[in-house]
Every structure is written in structure tokens, then in C-alpha cells.
Amino acid sequence: MDLSELRIDGKRLQNTLEEMATIGATPGGGVQRLALTDEDKQARDLFVQWLQDLNLKVTIDEMGNIFGKREGTNDDLPPIVSGSHLDSQPKGGRFDGVLGVMGPLEVLRTLHENNIETIRSIVIVDWTNEEGSRFAPCMVGSGVWAGALDRDWVYQRTALNDTRFIDELERIGYRGETATTKWPIHAYYEYHIEQGPILEIERKIIGAPKGILCLHWYDIYLEGEANQVGPTPMEGRHDALCAAAEMILKVNRLPEKKGGNLVATVGEIQNYPNSRNIIPDKVHFTVDIRSWDDVHALNAWYDLRRDFEVIADQRGCPINIEETWRVEHARFDERLVKRVLDTAEELEHSNLYMFSGAGHDASYMNQIAATAMIFVPSLDGRSHVEVENTSWKDCEAGANVLLHCMLKSANETG
Ligand code: GLV
Ligand code: MN
Ligand code: MN
């Protein structure tokens, strides 16, 4: 068979994605499959079953990462790896992550039914807790695997109700035996929706990011003084929520103040005791800062932290700052990025060289292996929301680009 003629089955990919989307389906048309919940377990179980249906060798490691391996003709050569994540945001979408796991699954189904052998083995992977929404930070499965994060630190991370990561990993039965340790990889491809508006604006089907912004996460804890809201005069209050409000606006204005390539967001807040007639005495909120320039992001943070300290002082609300997590910007392998663009061209799909504002497991994989990503458009540029959508046609196009990129890498002997 002329390999260049080979195509994945778009309808089968659609059916697979639709079946996955029933797990944790939300009334608004999205999914809620937070890491290590029962819904995550159900999605994992189905994925493992599909791996076994293809007679792949399934391995589950100590972080709950799930690998499915299809042997090549020369298993001495480092394999090709492709994957992403099955967990989602709260009220998240049906494509973020799961497309990057079902895409390579469809690639392997296509190779299987056409009896196509590759020289190198191919491994597909579901990384644990990419979203970091229930247990911060994100990308911990790939982070530990790549040697950038400490397994035991991640095990002890807690959700809002103080449940530990390790206890939930065990509870859903996905604490595997295999050590979470990197092994040599020839090429890592991650297929993903863009999660932004650029491909749609530029009217392109395939995006090849040159890399991913740095991500810096902080947790801010403020202490105030609780009191009855009626009798307590406005002067002399120590209102932790008002201090937080001032700080949150500083975060929002940070990119304008600092200029350059920068976005900054507060996405999560807890207010205590959260009663309309008690002055708040405890607030926790998060800060997310991203840039292509790691130093710029750090300097912006130092500036912001000084503002936080001044506000905390003025309001008499002691502040405690946790510098929770940082991952540096990732510049992908130029050869593989070019391969994505060239392959899109060969398949007659319009394409664009761009960058990724969203974080991906590819960021950590890029630290240890030649890495590239394949993006397809997000309708109206919406993601991390229930209405997140990508046309089936574009899902198919991206999967075909993935197929041919994987085939080219899998048949390289050098
Ligand atoms: C990952 O989903 C991110 O926060 O970009
Ligand atoms: Mn994702
Ligand atoms: Mn996401």
C-alpha cells in the first residue's frame, strides 16, 4: 500500500469522541471529568478497554499515567509517543485533552486494520491531571515522568476539601506499579484544539505552534478580622475580601502596566466565612501569569507582589504568598514543527505557524524529547467552557496530519 494514501476514519473518530463525551456529560453540552474523580476513572477504564481491543501492551505507572504500546519491527529504537489528557475543567469542553488521546488511538486503529508495521514502536498516553483544577498544579503526570516534578510532592497535594492526590489516585484504582520515570523517545506529538481564536481569524485548519508560553502559578492567603457587619464602623475594618478585590484588579491591569507579551488572571477565590453579614476574615485566591518571556513574567510578578504587600499593609490584612509552580516557556523542535506544517501542506490543509497560550503536557515532554503539537480550530475561540467546539471535519484533518507525522517519525532509523 502507498502509505501516502492512508487516511484515518473520521466517522470512527467522531463516534469515539462522542462516546467519551457521555462520561461526565453536563447539561450545557460539555463534560466535567475532574482529575481522579469517578468520571476520570470511567474514562480511563474505557480507554484501557480500547487499548486492549487493539492488543496493545498497557502499562499504568505510579502517577496513574496510562500507556498503550504497539510494537515496531525494531524495538531497540526509541519509540514515537503521542497523547494528552482525559481529565477536564469543571464544566469543561468535549475536546480539550481527549482529542489528543483519541486522535492517536484512531491512528493506531488505522495502522492495525491496514496491517501496517512501523520500524519504531508507537506509544499512546493519557497523562494524569493535566488540568490542575482539582489538584494544583497542572501537567503533573508528564511533569513527574519527565523528572521536573517530585512524585511525593504531587502525592501530597490537596483538593479544596483536603482530599490528597495520592488517596484519590488509589481510590480510583490507578496507582500503578511501574515507576514514573522517563525513557528515551524519538518524537513526541500532541494533538490538541487551539483553545484560542487565531486559526479561525486566519482561516487556517492546521496550527503548528513554535512552543508554549511559560506558566507561573501563585496562591495568595489573606487574613482579616471577622465582625458583625451592622454595628462595626467602616473605619478600622480589616476586610480580607476588600484587600483581595484591590489585588485582583492589580493582576488584571498588570499586562497593560508591564507591556510586552503577558497575560495575568485570577480564576479562583475562596472567601470565609462567606456570610453576607460577617466581615470576611480569610480569603484565598490564585494568580496565573503567562508569557513567552520567562524573565518578563518573573519581573511582573515581583512588581505585583510589592503591590500586594502595600495593599495588605494598608488594610491591616496579613498576607501569605505561596509561589506554587512554574514551568518555563517551551520552544519545540524546529524539525518536527516543520514536519507538521509540511505534512499539512501535503494533505492540502491550510496551515499556520503560531504559538500556544494554553499549557500542555508537551511543555514537559519538550524538556526531554523532540516535541511538536498539531492544533485545529476552536469555534469562536472558546475553550474551558461547555460550548467548546471543533468541527468533525477539522478533527479528521488534524488526525490525518498526526497519522502522517507519526508514520514519518516511526519509520526513521536515524
Ligand atoms: C491548561 O489547561 C492551561 O491552564 O492552559
Ligand atoms: Mn488540554
Ligand atoms: Mn485545559
pLDDT tens by residue, 218-269: 999 999 999 999 999 999 999 999 999 999 999 999 999 999 999 999 999 9
Query: Which residue, by CA, sits nearest to atom 1 of ligand 1?
Result: 359
> Could you tell me the CA-to-CA distances from 4 to 1, 182, 346, 412 in Å, in that order?
9, 32, 9, 15
Ligand 1 pocket, residue 289 CB under 6 Å: no
Fill in the amino acid letter for 275: S
All 3 cell numbers of residue 413?
Answer: 532509523
Q: pLDDT under 50 in the chain at which residues?
A: none
- Ligand 1 atom with the smallest distance to the CA of 360 is 1
Chain position carrying cell 463516534:
15
**Distance in angstroms (rounded) separating the CA atoms of residues 219 and 257:** 21
- Please indicate, yes or no, whether the overall pTM of this predicted structure exceeds 0.95: yes
- Ligand 1 atom with the smallest distance to the CA of 357 is 5
**Distance in angstroms (rounded) separating the CA atoms of residues 180 and 189:** 20
**Distance in angstroms (rounded) separating the CA atoms of residues 145 and 87:** 17
Chain position carrying cell 502596566:
257
> Which pLDDT value is given to residue 1?
80
- Residue list, CB under 5 A from ion ligand 2: 96-97
Beta-bridge partners for 209: 354
Q: What DSSP element (H or E) covers 243? A: helix 240-258
Nearest listed ligand to the Cα of residue 84: 2
Ligand 1 pocket, residue 358 CB under 6 Å: yes
> Which pLDDT value is given to residue 211?
98
Can you count the helices (H) and strands (E) in the chain?
A: 12, 14
> Which pLDDT value is given to residue 391?
98
166 in Cβ contact with 175 (< 8 Å): yes
374 in Cβ contact with 405 (< 8 Å): yes
Residue of 156, 187, 135, 163 whose CA lies nearest to 362: 187
> Which of 135, 195, 217, 384 has the most ligand 1 atoms within 8 A of CB, as the residue to mutate?
384
At residue 372, φ and ψ (nearest 5 deg) are -150, 160
Query: 400 C-alpha to center of ligand 1: Å?
Result: 25
Nearest listed ligand to the Cα of residue 357: 1
Nearest listed ligand to the Cα of residue 86: 2
Ligand 1 pocket, residue 359 CB under 6 Å: yes
